[in-house]
Structure 1
Amino acid sequence: MTQTPSSGDTGSSSGQDKRVRMPRFRRWRGLLGGVAAVALVGSTGAGLVAWQQYEGIVASLPTVDGLRSYQPPVMSRIYAGDDRVIAELADERRVFVPYSAIPDRIKNAVLAAEDQKFWTHKGVDPMAILRAGLTDLTRGKGRRPIGASTITQQVARIMLLGSNAVSLKRKAQEAFLAMRIEQVLPKEKILEIYLNEIYLGSGAYGIAAAAQTYFNKPLDQLDDAEAAFLGALPKSPTNYNPTRYPDAARGRRNWVLERMVETGTLSREAAQTAQAEPLIPHAFVRPGPAPGSEWFAEEVRRQLLEKYGQDTTMQGGLEVHTSLDPALQLSVQNTLRQGLMAYDRAHSGWRGPVKQLSALPANAPEDVWVDVLQHEVAPLGMLDQWRLAVVLDPAKGRVGWLEGAIVRRGAAQQGGVPQTGQIVERDISWARRAHPLKVGDLVMVQPQAQGERVSLMQIPRVEGAVVTLNAHTGRVLAMVGGWSFQTSQFDRATQALRQPGSSFKPFVYLEAMEQGISPSQEFDDSPVSYGTWHPNNYEKDFWGPTSLHDALRESRNLVTIRLAAHIGIKSVADLATQIGLVDSMPHVLPAALGAVETTVLKEAAAYATLAAGGLKVTPSLIDDVQDRQGKVIWRAPSFSLVSAASQAGVGANTGADKTKLSEPNAVFPGGQADEPQQVDGAATVPNATAAAALGMDDMPFLLDNRPRVASEQSAFQITAMLQDVIRHGTGFSAGKGIDNPVAGKTGTSQNFNDAWFAGYSPDLVTVVWIGFDTPQSLGKNETGGAIAGPIWNKVMKTAFEGYPKLDFPVPEGITLVRYDTGRGVGIDGFKPDQIPGVSVSLADNGAAQELTAADTGAENMADSESDMASGGAQGGGPSNGAAAPPTGQPGGGRNPCNNLLGVTLAWVAFIEATQT
């Protein structure tokens, strides 16, 4: 019998199915819960990690506050005395342009190429980031990521992060900084920073510098095509260089023009016109020192670096105004070069060609020798007016060169028109060779005005330096430091320490004048030996008793030695140091003959001290320095304008000079006592006290606060003697054809290693030095008067243009007397207690002085503490125990102006001097 399930069985079966299903659900629930838990933990952990990364990135971000006061690095400019730019100093070539001065077409071109949504985004462009990310994923690994940086992000990278490193972290930093920048700066300021900071290739930073570099134009003169090219450069300045990759550059430019059409900033017609234009860059040469001013500009740069440091000098936008006279500088450079060439030709002859092109056949066709020349590099030091030529026919002196070729330092010639010429016999006679030229010789020539004639040229081995400065202020008007700045940047005017030889002697004599010795005092000119030192005169002859006037005029060594021994070599050293001629000086007698070291610039300043009446003159190249806002941050010391009343009675005690603002230089004779002199209709007041006494309280005076290193009277006595050096002495060649009153001294160091001429007028000082960089003899009898004197002569003739012919002003208390100096007739200045004759008592004119080797340095030149065995004079009176002559005796205390003979002689001298 079949049994059917009961209801109880049915319920049991249903419960069993539930029990089967329940565990499965629980398992799935547990699994899902676990997954959810893991996901939650993972996401939480990831969130924590992301937060930590965010915190790390944010914490490491630099502040953006500095951009509020953005000041870009700006080049500094150096100006000549006529406000002409002579040099630009910069680590990066950048010309800052404010936003308002940037043409719209430039802004539109850059924005169309780099950031079309610049005006609407908040620092980042999310869609651009997403688009770049998808592109990067499809390109695969190992490829540089596509950029999606906005202009604001680029500003963050350039200005705050300072690196082009590519990473997700760096991109995140840029994004965060960009959003911060947008919060603190207006869009216009952000774009201004970008357009002035972005590097655009070829050394140009910013759009203004790029416009100069590629088109040699200011921004406001660029057309649409040129503006679009600048907009094309930020992506890759190297790859779109128009000279190296013209097709790529033109293609990128045209792409930018299309983007400008899309953004509505340029019409289709204007874009098509611009796209049809050729892309032709115009070479721009970064301004260096103006021709001839390289030495001057380099010394200014060195002084600025020392005063302000690298960053301020090269990036601070300084405006530096200098004392340089460009016309005089160029003339001085050319004059020095002519002198160096003249010496080189006279002593060296022809040293041979630059090189020999042995592969060039005789009478080679034009295309052959032209091709050869286009591969040759001009030697350093070749002048601009010279040409690099090849000898084609030595028998006829025929040479060929490329006229108008571009010659750059260290690079082969480019371009030029083939031209031939002939070296005639008189232009090659200096070579001192029978047949100096061969076919294929590469030589330097200078075309002449007469037809096809050219002169054979050669770079001298001898060097030189010249400094010309204002005698009153020390402002350096011209300074040349050698043959060529290209050849060597070593400045022989400021850096070369050389022995001045006899050009040092005037300062020995100046100390003697300070000690009361007069120009007419005689010292013995006879043989003398000190230990192992046996000094001699240049001519190797002896004059016996000789006045100081004659001894200085003819540069007698033995008198100078006895004079230095008498006054004390230590006092001479002190004076030379105070004047600034030397930094230190050994206390030995050979130093009195110039066995010390100085520079051309220091010697020029020392001679200016003589011209300035004993006031120390400090040479200066810089007049003033302005910062980028135009504020004067430094100015060279100058005179102060004061009233007579405020300074009445001051000058006598302070030593300060008061000079009437419009007062011309005085003429012979010098003013005596307190009586005002009448010169050219203008009353000249001797001092502020007298002016005040005459009721001229409001008269302006220039107050000179420079330190006095010698009295005005002593300085004038040296000037009077140095005038005779040029009129009748060793400096005669330097004065030929010069009508202006001048004074000067020759200098020749031991073994003729250095040739000097130092001289001055009432307004100008010029010093010339000639020698070899590695000291060697210039040749027997090659003295300062023979070599340096003619150069000085030509420099001063040019420098005098525009200056009046003024006599040296004669100081108060000086009487000019014409008298027999012993070896001629001279005019000297005498102080109130001096008349021609002796001014100190000397036994046998100083011939009997006993000196040891320690006094001369013959045994120990390094003993700088040694002094005269008999003691050196330190004050203003006689030394070595010599008694001052009593009043009423020659050289005594009586004023010659109170003596009828003295007054008569003074006026006779005045009349004769004004008639010559």
Structure 2
Amino acid sequence: MSIRTRRAHRHASTHAVGFGVAGFFGFLALLTLALFMSLGGVVSNWLQDLPDYTSAKAYLVSEPTTVYASDGSVIAEYYIQNRRSVDSSEISDYALKAIVDTEDVRFYQHHGVDPQGILRAVAVQLGGGSEGASTITQQLVRNTVLSDEQFDMTLKRKVREAYIAIQMEKMFTKKQILNMYLNTIYFGHSAYGIEAASITYFNKHAKDLTLAEAATLCGLPQSPSVYDPFQNPTAAKKRRNIVLERMYAAGDITRKQCDAAKKEELVTNEGTMEDSEGKYPYFTDYVKTLLLKDFDQDTVMQGGLKVYTTIDPTVQAAAQDSVRKNLDSIGNDQLQAALVAIDPSTGYIKAMIGGRDYESNKFNLATQAERQPGSSFKTYTLCAALNAGMNPQIYINCNSPLQASPTWKVNNFGHTSYGTITLAKAFALSSNTGFVQVIQAVGADKVSQMATDMGVDVDIPAYDSITLGTIGIPVIQMAEGYSTIASGGYHRDAVAITKIEDRNGNVVYKHKDKPKQVFSTAVADAAIDVMKGVTQAGGTASVISQTLKVDQPVAGKTGTTENARDLWYCGITPQLSVAVWCGYTTEGTVMVHGASGHPYNTTVPIYVDFINSALSGVARAEFPKADGTATYKSNSSWKFTATKYVSEKTDQYRSYTNEQTNTNSNGYTDTTTTTNSPQNYGTNTTGTTTTTQETGAGAGAEGTGGTDAAAGGEAGDGTR
């Protein structure tokens, strides 16, 4: 091939390569142009029918969330009531700077949308962190002008939001936008806007906020419930200090100012602001708390939700009347009461009382307080024992005291010795020495797990002392736990909300019944039979038998803790599982008519009055019945600390005779002679029993330490 020919080939080849590269990039250019033209058409279509964003009033628009009772009546509305709009001149300069440095540090550099912020947020999220990219302007648009679209997690909504944010920046100054934002955002405790927040938390106007106070408030919008200065001061202070460091990093305060403010104690001074309490404030506050777990604050407070709840106005009225009447009759203004009633067949909360007066004490004693349940916890030990195969007719030495471990001595209330009696009788008499032996035989881990499976959410350590009710449990969880028995062994979570709709009527949540079987209905039957013993003998039972008017089967358990600080009655009928607590907000000995209180003159009357009213005229129902009976292990398979088993063939126990006379501080006297002999094959024969009235207030656990860690020393309980 000649040189000219080779050159011609090379020239042609070079041109071919050049044409191919040019064609490829030309194709990409044309494709990109086509995509942009197509996307431009899509975006143009997305930007049709935008709401009015030209008026400043558009950025204060909100729609209340409406809460309904089970009968469809409105019981509350959550809305922006506590908002007082102020001009930027009426806002502390510290607050103006803190909110920018915390929420949108490039607020004064971008034009509504911050590309750098988006890249930074992507980088943080790729690194496993979490950071938002929305500017203050975008947040304002999303929570006001585009509030109808707040549930739309779509690119369309993002484009519309960004577009309006950019247009806003053309129409309003940065100062105006920041002012609208500070008058709109939610700070918790129903306070919308910086002025309402200043009064709510510090009882002062926004213009008077100090650096530390402004930093505290400007740290709240991210999560008002988590950083609540009233409920979570430690978290609020930590968040405040983060805001101060961001202000220093932005150059808005000096290191000296930052360090001095960080050293300040977080001191709140709650101001008076109205709230949309509704008819049943403790319950509607609880519903709001549940909503805030799944929705942001702005959605709950101005999203126009429709929330359908389980509360029954008739049952709720019965609960309110019973609590008020009985507390008034006692005449102790400091005495509080809490009550929760649950339908065992659904888990629906039908009534909730969180205290005697919401105006004077907004702390919900039914859901937020964790108080020791005393002997009412023995029900969980009973269920664990029955489920493990322990016969309720097995005999246990219930004398007092009991050396439960080398370092832990347990007493019955008043050091009463009950002799060797059945497990069922030990439950009715609330024998501490008997039930400590039961939990030791069954295993504390099984009792703890049983309580959890039945509905107790607080941590229950696997100590033997838990059977005496030494761990605080909210009233609502006790009602939920007992409902598992009333339903035939099926646990259902306590339910307050059945359905939620958005402002357009679309269902965004609907409750589905998902019961979980914890134990057989046969075990539930056996537990109910034992629990009925509490209502059939003794002083507590006399209150129920003499005052209960409805024709319904009733079972339950009382509970009294050390020095009568917490008084309980947890009772069940086929229709309602009810937990009632009485005590003081700050723990102390409950006094009733000059003497230590007891369930029989506090919680039991409240329960009976409530049931009489709530179930008045309701046809008798029965607890779920099992096809068969529970299966039990041989009595000899159970080893009790202080109970000597003699013969598996005859189920005999050692002979024991005890005579005990007790007179407590209230003047009530018990004299009991008990004989138990092998000839009776384990049966218990009572000679003479004289009971003037039921023993008085009981005691929980005294002393700490020992092998059980949670409680040691002596323990007792006066409930029966």
Which amino acid in structure 2 is aligned with residue 503 of structure 1? S
- Seen in structure 2, the aligned counterparts of structure 1 residues 845 and 810 have a Cα distance that, compared at 3 Å, is farther
Deviation at 1:734, TM superposition (A): 3.3
Q: How many Å separate the matches in 1 of 2:707 and 2:632?
A: 38
Residue 708 of structure 1: CA displacement?
Answer: 1.7
Task: Look up the match of 1:587.
Answer: 462
Match of 2:548 in 1: 737
Selected match of 1:722 from 531, 538, 541:
531
Q: 1:586 to 1:174 in 2, by over 3 A?
A: closer
Distance 1:488 1:549, change over 3 A: same
Q: Is the 8 A contact 1:726 1:734 kept in 2?
A: yes
Q: Is the 8 Å Cα contact of residues 470 and 711 (structure 2) preserved in structure 1?
A: no
Deviation, 1:761, is 0.5
Find the aligned partners of 1:754 and 1:762 in 2 and give their Cα distance: 26
Answer whether contact 1:588 1:857 (CA < 8 A) is retained: no
For the 8 Å contact 2:82–2:275, the answer to whether it is kept is no
Task: Supply the distance in 2 between the matched residues of 1:522 and 1:507 (Cα, whole angstroms).
Answer: 19
Contact preservation (8 Å) 2:465, 2:710: no
Q: Are 1:499 and 2:345 an aligned pair?
A: no
- Superposition deviation, residue 574 in structure 1: 1.4
Structure 2 distance, partners of 1:485, 1:312, is 25
Give 1:75's aligned residue.
Answer: 64
CA distance in 1, matches of 2:443, 2:568: 26
Q: What is residue 288 of structure 1 aligned with on the other side? A: 276
* Equivalent AA in structure 2 for residue 484 of structure 1: D
1:632 lines up with 2:441 in the alignment: no
1:406 matched to which residue of 2? none
Secondary structure of 1:731's match?
Answer: helix
1:713 corresponding residue in structure 2: 522
Distance 1:861 1:73, change over 3 A: farther
Counterpart-to-counterpart distance in 1, 2:431 and 2:145: 69
CA distance 1:714–1:844, shift in 2 (3 Å): closer
Aligned amino acid, residue 339 of structure 1: N
Q: What letter matches 1:718 in structure 2? A: A
| Residue of structure 2 aligned with 1:551, choices 426, 429, 439 | 426
Task: Report the alpha carbon displacement of residue 723 of structure 1 after superposing the two structures with TM.
Answer: 1.4
Percent identical: 28
Q: Does 1:572 align with 2:452?
A: no
> Where does residue 751 of structure 1 map in the other structure?
563
Alignment of 1:741-820 (within 5 A): 741-779=553-591, 781-814=596-629
Q: Is the 8 A contact 1:624 1:632 kept in 2?
A: yes
Question: Residue 306 and residue 844 in structure 1: after superposition, are their counterparts in 2 closer, same or farther (change >3 A)?
Answer: closer
Matched residue of 1:68: which SS? coil
Secondary structure class of the residue paired with 1:757: strand
Q: TM-score, normalised by structure 2?
A: 0.54
Give 1:64 deviation, angstroms.
11
Where does residue 518 of structure 1 map in the other structure? 391
Tell me which moved more, 296-305 or 530-539: 530-539
Bigger Cα Rg: 1
Which residue of the partner structure matches residue 321 of structure 2? 334
Find the counterpart in structure 1 of residue 285 from structure 2: 298
SS at match of 2:301: helix
Match of 2:436 among 561, 571, 576: 561
Distance 1:572 1:477 in 2: 28
Please state how far the C-alpha of 1:609 moved relative to its aligned partner: 0.4
Matches of 1:317 and 1:811 in 2, distance apart?
46
Report Cα offsets for 1:579-628 as digits up to 9, x if no partner. Answer: 22242222222211111110100000000001011111210111110111
Change (3 A) 1:344 1:859: same
Instruction: Provide the rounded CA distance (Å) in 2 between the counterparts of 1:308 and 1:175.
Output: 28
Q: 1:856/1:486 Cα in 2 relative to 1: closer, same or farther (>3 Å)?
A: closer
Matches of 2:638 and 2:317, distance apart in 1 = 51
5+ residue gaps, structure 2: 1-44, 53-57, 84-140, 147-166, 173-183, 185-189, 193-272, 646-700, 713-720
Cα 1:176–1:526 change in 2 (3 A) is: closer
Name the SS of the counterpart of 2:439 in structure 1.
helix
Q: Secondary structure at the match of 2:602?
A: helix
Report the equivalent of 1:319: 306
Aligned twin of 1:839: 635
Deviates more, 1:577-586 or 1:561-570: 577-586
**1:859 aligns to what?**
705
Give the structure-1-normalised TM-score. Answer: 0.43
1:67–1:485: structure 2 CA closer, same or farther, 3 Å change rule? farther
Match status 1:87 vs 2:76: yes
Q: After superposition, give the CA deviation of every residue in 1:238-267 in whole Å (9 maximum; x if it has no partner).
A: xxxxxxxxxxxxxxxxxxxxxxxxxxxxxx
Q: Which runs of 5+ in 1 are unaligned?
A: 1-62, 95-154, 161-172, 179-196, 198-202, 206-284, 346-459, 639-704, 815-830, 850-854, 867-916
CA distance 1:614–1:569, shift in 2 (3 Å): same
- The structure with higher relative contact order (CA 8 Å, sep 6+) is 2
Q: Distance in 2 between matches of 1:327 and 1:861?
A: 49
Query: AA paired with 1:476?
Result: I
The reply on whether 1:489 has 2:365 as its aligned counterpart is no
**Which amino acid is the alignment partner of residue 73 of structure 1?**
S
Specify the SS of the correspondent of 2:50.
helix
Cα distance, 1:746–1:176 mapped onto 2, change above 3 Å: closer
- Mapped partners of 1:545, 1:175: distance in 2: 83
Contact kept, 8 Å, 1:588 with 1:856, in 2: the verdict is no
Q: Which amino acid in the other structure matches residue 719 of structure 1?
A: I
Distance 1:86 1:636 in 2: 20
Q: C-alpha separation between the residues in 2 aligned to 1:856 and 1:568? A: 22
Count of residues paired in the alignment: 424
Q: Relative to 1, partners in 2 of residues 1:796 and 1:563: Cα closer, same or farther, differing over 3 Å? A: same
Q: CA separation in 2, counterparts of 1:295 and 1:586?
A: 30
**Given residue 800 of structure 1, which amino acid in structure 2 is its aligned partner?**
L
Distance 1:312 1:745 in 2: 42
1:808 CA displacement = 1.9
Give the CA deviation at 1:845: 8.2
Map residues 105-504 of structure 1 onto 2, 5 A cutoff: 288-291=276-279, 293-345=280-332, 460-504=333-377
Compared CA separation, residues 843 and 85, structure 1 to 2 (3 A): closer
SS of match in other structure, 1:487:
coil
Structure 2 Cα separation of the partners of residues 174 and 778 of structure 1: 61
Q: Distance in 2 between matches of 1:311 and 1:79?
A: 20
| Counterpart residue number, 1:608 | 483
Shift of 1:318: 0.3
- The secondary structure found in structure 2 opposite 1:495 is coil
Residues 1:66 and 1:79: Cα distance change in structure 2 (over 3 Å): farther
Give the letter aligned to residue 68 of structure 1: L
CA contact (8 A) 1:335 1:791 kept: yes
Matches of 1:716 and 1:632, distance apart in 2: 39
* Aligned CA distance change for structure 1 residues 555 and 863 (closer, same or farther; 3 Å): closer
What displacement does 1:69 show?
Answer: 5.4
Letter in 1 for 2:68: Y
Question: 1-side partners of 2:396 and 2:319: how far apart?
Answer: 39
Query: What secondary structure does 1:534 align onto?
Result: strand
Letter in 1 for 2:544: A
Counterpart residue type for residue 766 of structure 1: V
* Alpha-carbon distance, 1:861 to partner: 7.0
For the structure 1 residues 554 and 576, does the alpha-carbon distance in structure 2 shift closer, same or farther, using more than 3 Å as the test? Answer: same
Alpha-carbon distance in 1 for matches of 2:312, 2:417: 46
Indicate which of 471, 476, 498 corresponds to 1:596.
Answer: 471
- Displacement of 1:807 in angstroms is 2.2
- Structure 1 residue 344, shift from structure 2 partner: 3.0
